[in-house]
Chains A and B, each alone.
Chain A
Amino acid sequence: MEITLTHYLVLSTILFVIGLIGIMRRKNLLLLFFATEILLNAVNIALAAISHYRGDYTGQMFAFFIIAIAASEVAVGLGLLIVWYKRTGRIDLDQMTSMRG
């Protein structure tokens, strides 16, 4: 029973779809961030698997940069979220309608 590249790609797709479901159904911004992390991790699995089965380091390198981007996204996003929570007391997405015309 050999584990092939397709196994990893299917797993990565399942995780990506779980993240998309989270983005579609969540209203709380913190939990929306969680769903974003799931999306990034699903892509990381696919990149590492392709890197392994193709014998190429490029996939791993891109996974490293994705991790760096995820870390900076969390830092900036949480900072903005804290400021918003201090001002309004809520972090719900459908409440942010201050720019409605």
Chain B
Amino acid sequence: MFEAIAFYLFAALTISMFTITVMTQQALYALSAMAAGMIFISAFFFILGADFLGAVQIIVYTGAVMALYAFGMMFFDTTRTVVEKRTNPRFVIVLATLAALLTVLVVIVPIIAVDMPAQLPIDPSAGNSQAVGMVLFTKYLVPFELAAVMLLVAMVAGIVLAGKKMDKSLTLMAEEEIELMQTAQYTPVAHEEVH
């Protein structure tokens, strides 16, 4: 009974938050509504018994991703109201058809495949975090390491892309000045004394 109440409450909250994110004209409203929606989604993970996933959802999404978006919005003109595009109706029809097909597939596939055996059956004696750790460091060790390398590469890419020439404003410079600055980088530094 409580599970049903929690499910319907958080479903309504999540759907309304994400609708605000998609429909609003203000970028700041979209940001805060999406942060709220991410936290409400973690409630579903707690209801489903995936405690560790819920904690990771809160830490990574509302802690890291939202902070990164807020940081990125410092650079952009967020006070301007967002103007929507007028899309090609054919494009909308194709995407809507695709979404409808996907809906049918997503709902039908788990109902059809009833007797699919569990590959990694849930062990009720261990807690969720412990069991997740056991599975992650045995069966999914190689994907885990690959994900770690991917995050490292993404971090380096973020630093290189965003942190490049922070002291110079590329918007206020002419194209020739930017090219001059880029070519000047590759000229060797003359006589640097090293002791």
Question: Please, which residues of chain A bring their CB within 8 A of the CB of B53?
Answer: 44, 48, 60, 63-64
How would residues 149 to 184 of chain B score, 1 for a CB under 8 Å from any chain A CB and 0 otherwise? 011011101111110100001110000000000000
Chain B residues within an 8 Å CB radius of A34 = 21-22, 30-31, 34, 69
**30 A–B contacts, CB within 8 A, in A order:** A5-B110, A13-B103, A17-B103, A20-B99, A22-B22, A26-B22, A27-B85, A28-B27, A30-B27, A33-B69, A44-B57, A46-B106, A49-B48, A51-B122, A54-B116, A58-B118, A58-B119, A61-B132, A61-B135, A69-B147, A69-B150, A71-B64, A76-B157, A79-B157, A79-B161, A82-B161, A83-B164, A85-B75, A85-B171, A87-B171
Q: Taking CB as reference atom, which chain A residue is nearest B109?
A: A9
B19 to chain A, nearest CB (A): 6
User: With A and B bound together, what is the CA distance between A33 and B61 in angstroms?
Assistant: 13
Cβ < 8 Å to A, chain B residues 117-134: 118-122, 131-132
**Interface check B36, CB cutoff 8 A:** no
A1-37 interface mask toward B, CB cutoff 8 Å, 1 = contact, 0 = none?
1110111111111111111111111111011011101
Query: Who on chain B is nearest to A55 by CB?
Result: B122
Q: Are B11 and A25 in contact (CB under 8 A)?
A: no
Total A residues in contact with B, Cβ cutoff 8 Å: 79
Contact residues on B (Cβ < 8 Å of other chain), bracket = 35 or more
Q: Is the interface of A mostly helix, strand, loop or mixed?
A: helix
Cα distance A63–B56 in the bound complex, in angstroms: 10
Interchain CB contact (< 8 A) of B121 among A3, A26, A56, A94: A56
Is B68 a contact of A67 with CB atoms below 8 Å? no
CB distance from A37 to the nearest CB of B (A): 7
B residues within 8 A CB of A89?
171
Are B50 and A52 in contact, with the CB atoms below 8 A? yes
Q: How far is the CB of A62 from chain B (nearest CB, A)?
A: 9
Contact A22 B99 (CB under 8 A): no
Confirm or deny: B3 has a beta carbon within 8 angstroms of a beta carbon on chain A: yes
Can you name the residue of chain B whose Cβ is closest to the Cβ of A78?
A: B72
- Give every chain B residue within 8 A of A1 (Cβ-Cβ): 1, 4
Residues of B within 8 A of A70 (CB): 60-61, 65
Asked whether A96 is an interface residue with its Cβ less than 8 Å from the other chain, the reply is no
